[in-house]
Amino acid sequence: MYERQAVIQPLRLAPGRRILVISDIHGNLAYFDALLKKAAFGPGDELIIDGDFLEKGPDSLGVLRRIMELSKAGNVHCVCGNCDNWYDIFRPDWSPEADERVMDYVMWRQSGLLWDMLNASGVDLFELESISDCKGTLLRRFPQEWDFLSKLPDAIETESFLFAHAGADPDKPLREHTAGDFCRIDSLLTTGRRFRKWLVVGHWPVMLYRENIVCANPIIDREKRIVSIDGGCVLKDDGQLNALIIPHKDSEDFSFLAYDPFPVRTVTRDQAGSERSYYIRWGDNQVRVLRRGEEFSRCRHVRTGYEMDILTKYLYSDGEYSDCNDSTDYVLPLKAGDRVSLIESTSLGYLVKHRGVTGWYFGDLA
């Protein structure tokens, strides 16, 4: 499916209109609605949804319907991500083996668009043998949703920008791109690719680009002309949904807004930041448990040998070796009066987020 020729939607924007770009909503309707509200999104703006609005989160169908509803006004434009291409299950070259993989995926995740749609149709998924048995039901019950999904472009091109979910190939004419060229590239910023036109992508949570510090804010690389905006919404416990703000269609004067639901508290004393820190993250998260405690456990990261205290509830198994939830020992540099978002309260201190950066604070919070 990723080998098919990509659909690129040309978009002419009126001058002077603000452009918001949001990616990787991943079925999180609450974050999406709250971010639009925070940005005071309205008819005077343009909104680009940069792919992966479905899957992983609690309400994929709700997010799809919200985007469809917003799209009616004509100022909302949506790109297909690697989690949004569900219309492919109805294409003639879709195989029975692929149906099996989809069924396994749906029952493993127990969430996502097909899960939501089938539950809303009253289908008992635990009785269902194959996805092929319910494709008729899906088409009958959700004709508008499938029509919308079938028409999603793989990229949107304006005079100054290309919006694609994960990347593009600067050595290939745009018209020769496949769907996969736009949505199947991991870690775009480390591939050495640079572009003539600004490329705005999601897909790769931005915190994965740094080893020592967890930062969820968009990365603007002016040399490569890439803006990477996935703040780890749904995928990371401390993640956020970012909206890149382009002041008007030819501007490079980027800013952003972010939404997360954590309570905001106030720091009561200055704290110096740590000079050395590490971020153990998904994909490279095997640790050896040196000393298991009730609240914290002393652990050694297997690949690097780095030692840190990890919340015991973040360890995924009781064994000597365990994978763990994303963890950092970074101590944030803070000043009394700073406002922080509270992620975890522990007996030793607080895991907080300050201006998009997650770390520890060991004083009192007001």
Contacts to Mn ion by CB under 5 A: 52, 81-82, 203
**Tokens coding 231:** 């703040």
Looking at beta carbons only, is 55 or 116 nearer to Mn ion?
A: 55
Q: Report in angstroms how near the CB of residue 263 gets to Mn ion at its nearest.
A: 29
**Tokens coding 21:** 């770009």
Q: Report in angstroms how near the CB of residue 290 gets to Mn ion at its nearest.
A: 35
Looking at beta carbons only, is 52 or 145 nearer to Mn ion?
A: 52
CA 92, CA 345: separation in Å to the nearest integer? 53
Looking at beta carbons only, is 203 or 301 nearer to Mn ion?
A: 203
Residue 63 identity (one-letter amino acid) = V
Looking at beta carbons only, is 82 or 322 nearer to Mn ion?
A: 82
Say what angle helices 113-120 and 96-109 make with each other, to 10 degrees.
Answer: 80
Looking at beta carbons only, is 77 or 203 nearer to Mn ion?
A: 203
Q: Report in angstroms how near the CB of residue 45 gets to Mn ion at its nearest.
A: 24
Find the helix or strand (DSSP H, E) in which 114 lies: helix 113-120
Looking at beta carbons only, is 202 or 359 nearer to Mn ion?
A: 202
Listed in sequence order, the residues at least 6 apart from 355 whose beta carbon sits closer than 8 Å to its beta carbon are 217
Q: Report in angstroms how near the CB of residue 55 gets to Mn ion at its nearest.
A: 9
What values do phi and psi take at 98, rounded to 5?
A: -65, -35
Looking at beta carbons only, is 193 or 292 nearer to Mn ion?
A: 193
CA 199, CA 219: separation in Å to the nearest integer? 12
**Tokens coding 61:** 């169908």
Q: Report in angstroms how near the CB of residue 186 gets to Mn ion at its nearest.
A: 9
**Coil, strand or helix at 100:** helix
CA distances from 231 to 3, 144, 264, 342 (A): 28, 30, 18, 17
Q: Report in angstroms how near the CB of residue 220 gets to Mn ion at its nearest.
A: 20
CA 324, CA 261: separation in Å to the nearest integer? 23
Cβ(334)–Cβ(350) below 8 Å: no
Q: Report in angstroms how near the CB of residue 230 gets to Mn ion at its nearest.
A: 8
Residues in a beta bridge with 271: 334
Residue for token pair 């703000």: 245
Listed in sequence order, the residues at least 6 apart from 362 whose beta carbon sits closer than 8 Å to its beta carbon are 271, 331, 348, 349, 350
Query: For Mn ion, which residue has the nearest CB?
Result: 203
CA 325, CA 65: separation in Å to the nearest integer? 32
Looking at beta carbons only, is 52 or 329 nearer to Mn ion?
A: 52
Q: Report in angstroms how near the CB of residue 207 gets to Mn ion at its nearest.
A: 15
Sign of torsion over alpha carbons 64, 69, 72, 75 = negative
Looking at beta carbons only, is 81 or 218 nearer to Mn ion?
A: 81
CA 118, CA 42: separation in Å to the nearest integer? 33
Q: Report in angstroms how near the CB of residue 165 gets to Mn ion at its nearest.
A: 6
Closest CA to 120 of 111, 109, 129: 111
